[in-house]
Structure 1
Amino acid sequence: MNKYKWGVIGTGKIAHTFATALMNCENAELCASASRTEEKAKRFAEEFGFLKYYGSYREFAEKSDAEIVYIATPMASHFDDAWLCLENGKNVLCEKSLALNTAQTEKLIAFAKEKGLFFMEAMWMKCRPVYRKMKEWIASGLIGDIEYIKADFSNFIPYDENDRLFRADCGGGCLLDLGIYPITLTHDLLGVPDDITSSAHIMHGIDMSNSILFRYKNGAFSSMDNGFEIQLRNNAIISGTKGFITLGNWFHCTEEGILFDRNGKEIERFVRKDDINGYEYEIAELHSCLDVGLKESPLVPHSDTIAVMKLMDECRAQWGMKYPNE
């Protein structure tokens, strides 16, 4: 078993969740953590067992011997942080959304290829067992041709002007944070739509909620509602000519998928409880890729990451929403 030295940039909530999975993966060595202050980096390192810590991202990139870096900083920082790590010869797993727009995304991917390094957006949904089982059912023709997808991701979150979710300068808004999941699901199953209709409630320079409809020339369509203003069940249904699949509440990280025939009779139920907290699957995927010398994941290929970002760019263009630092 190959072992890999990991570093983590950013010490917020998502970094804590990821580090919990990382510390329980036997082929991951917790090499170094980095934050904007030495105090935060030290506290994070001590909590999870990282051997070293750095009070600046540049110092981490230039001095640590981490082979892989997980980037868990705010969206607006992803481009600079990922570029810094790639520039210093480190493989990168960067939280979604990978960047603020398509131009940044394409530059990062091109730079990773130029440097000969592994680079992947941390779209953990695609690496999870239930999602992969759903793809198997569809590829086997068990629901026929897909006609309709309904997937939502909306959580009620009280407004806080200091929270990065609500700050335009941090790349806030629900599209890049939540909407990316149903858009990724739809694109993965149906490809690039022929028509996009979308609307959003814009406040303080970010989308507080949005509604997105993708239509395809063959008649298939996908309906997606996302936001911070109302609480939805956040499940998904993929309906085809022969049957349909439901992904349980919180479809992006569900532990249960159910296959039905066209009459609503249950055909198969797939349940897979997480070994740790669900982030272990993307860690395993990255390790598997490095083991065989791949520079991108077949589960989360660069082409998909770029395509989804283009779709989100189109939605924001329809809303007239642009981030101050893009």
Structure 2
Amino acid sequence: MLNWGVIGLGRIAQRFCESLSHFDEACFYAGASHNPEKRQQFKELYHPERLYDDYMKLLEDENVDIVYIALPHASHYKYALEAMKHHKAVLVEKPATLTSKEIRTLCEYSEKNHVFFMEAMKSRFIPMINQVHKEIEKGIIGDIVSIENHFQSIVSYDEHSYIYDPKQGGALYDTGIYNIATVLDFVKSSVVSISNDVKVEHGVDVHDSITLEFENGVKAFMEASLDGPVRKDMIITGTKGTIILDPFYRPTKAVISFNGESFTGEIPYDIDDFHTEIEACHEAIAYIKVESDRMSHQDSIDCIELMERIGETICRL
């Protein structure tokens, strides 16, 4: 039985714990939050063995095997490293860190000390995403020519929200990481050109319209926003056809068009969109691996490095 500890008991952690409750081989053992109301809420909903008002107390609990870190972005690095120093496996929400130096440090520590570490990029584990990979490998749409994806939301300004904190917020860090990770999942080539038409408000980027050109000739257009309009689809265009996913980061359906015809394929979740990500952690730990094949350390490094390069285009006034 794997005992999970959860640091940060917000909305995402609630969805995570709900998914975790469907596993027989693991349980939500301990949670930590500075907010007493959230601790009480999780106590009533999930009945963990332990609830802490201090994150370090959870990490010092010898019964905790693996930690899920669902804190604001700027806290990911600190507590992921502390968790591994306390011999805990780690699943940390995206983006795992804010800088390439930090992500390299975490990955190196994981590898040198034989501790499992993974960024929670759940899109990599969605069954439909993996099926789309198989269809592309079969050549159903030919060679990829371009990818366009959108993660556009409406998030009202809140001076107390980490999303509007210039040090860790903005559309690129909050949702753009999904755009980036998904493009890099399908295009295995080096980025040779980056442009970004960016809109900045309240000291953060609220709208990024990013164009990438890859060494192999593929082009990608990515749009991430906090100011709408709401849109969360992706179109992969090949030499013979197209594939449309909506929402692209957790799809259950794909519309595939080729030879003048279109059809819709569907692969529902077994439980929900967290389940296969959690399952991947359990499998890696069972096989004494320090990383996942589908979201490897190098994958996280590549994502953060590209995000860092794109971030250089943003002037945070």
TM-score class, shorter: over 0.9
4+ residue segments displaced more than 6 Å? none
Unaligned 5+ runs, structure 1? none
Identity between Structure 1 and Structure 2 (%): 30
Take 1:288 and 1:159, find their aligned partners in 2: how far apart are those partners? 40
CA contact (8 A) 1:133 1:270 kept: no
Q: Secondary structure in 2 aligned to 1:99?
A: coil
Question: 1:260: which partner in 2?
Answer: 257
Relative to 1, partners in 2 of residues 1:218 and 1:87: Cα closer, same or farther, differing over 3 Å?
closer
CA distance in 2, matches of 1:176, 1:216: 22
Whether the 8 Å contact between 2:144 and 2:237 is mirrored in structure 1 is yes
Task: In structure 1, give the amino acid aligned to 2:39.
Answer: A
The residue aligned with 1:113 is 111
Matched ranges for 1:236-315 at <5 A: 236-248=234-246, 250-263=247-260, 265-266=261-262, 268-315=263-310
The Cα offsets for residues 281-301 of structure 1, whole Å up to 9 and x where unpaired, read as 101111111222211000101
Give 1:38 shift.
5.2
TM-score by length of 1: 0.92
- Deviations for 1:37-93, whole angstroms, at most 9, x for unmatched residues? 455334323321211111101111012411111000000000111111111000000
Counterpart of 1:26 (choices 20, 24, 27) is 24
* One-letter identity of the residue aligned with 2:18: T
Equivalent residue for 2:66? 68
SS, match of residue 227 in structure 2: coil
Structure 2 contact 67–90 (Cα < 8 Å) conserved: yes
8 A Cα contact 1:119 1:296, kept in partner: yes
Instruction: Tell me which residue corresponds to 2:99.
Output: 101
Aligned residues: 316
| CA distance in 2: counterparts of 1:124 and 1:149, whole angstroms | 19
Contact 1:37 1:56 in 2 (8 A): no
In structure 2, runs of 5+ residues without a counterpart are none
Q: Which residue of 1 aligns with 2:136?
A: 138
- Separation in 1, partners of 2:80, 2:215: 37
CA distance in 2, matches of 1:81, 1:258: 40
The residue type paired with residue 253 of structure 1 is R
- Aligned-partner SS, 2:230: coil
The partner residue of 2:206 within 191, 205, 208 is 208
| Candidates 212, 232, 235, aligned match of 1:234 | 232
Kept after mapping to 2: 8 A contact 1:42/1:54: no
Q: Is the 8 A contact 2:166 2:316 kept in 1?
A: no
Q: Distance in 2 between matches of 1:76 and 1:65?
A: 27
Quote how far apart the aligned CAs of 1:159 are.
1.3
Letter in 2 for 1:119: F
Q: Which amino acid aligns with 2:185?
A: D
CA contact (8 A) 1:38 1:53 kept: no
Does the aligned pair in 2 maintain the 1:244–1:262 contact within 8 Å? no
Deviations 1:171-192 (A, max 9, x none): 1111111111111111111133
Given candidates 101, 124, 127, the residue that maps to 2:125 is: 127
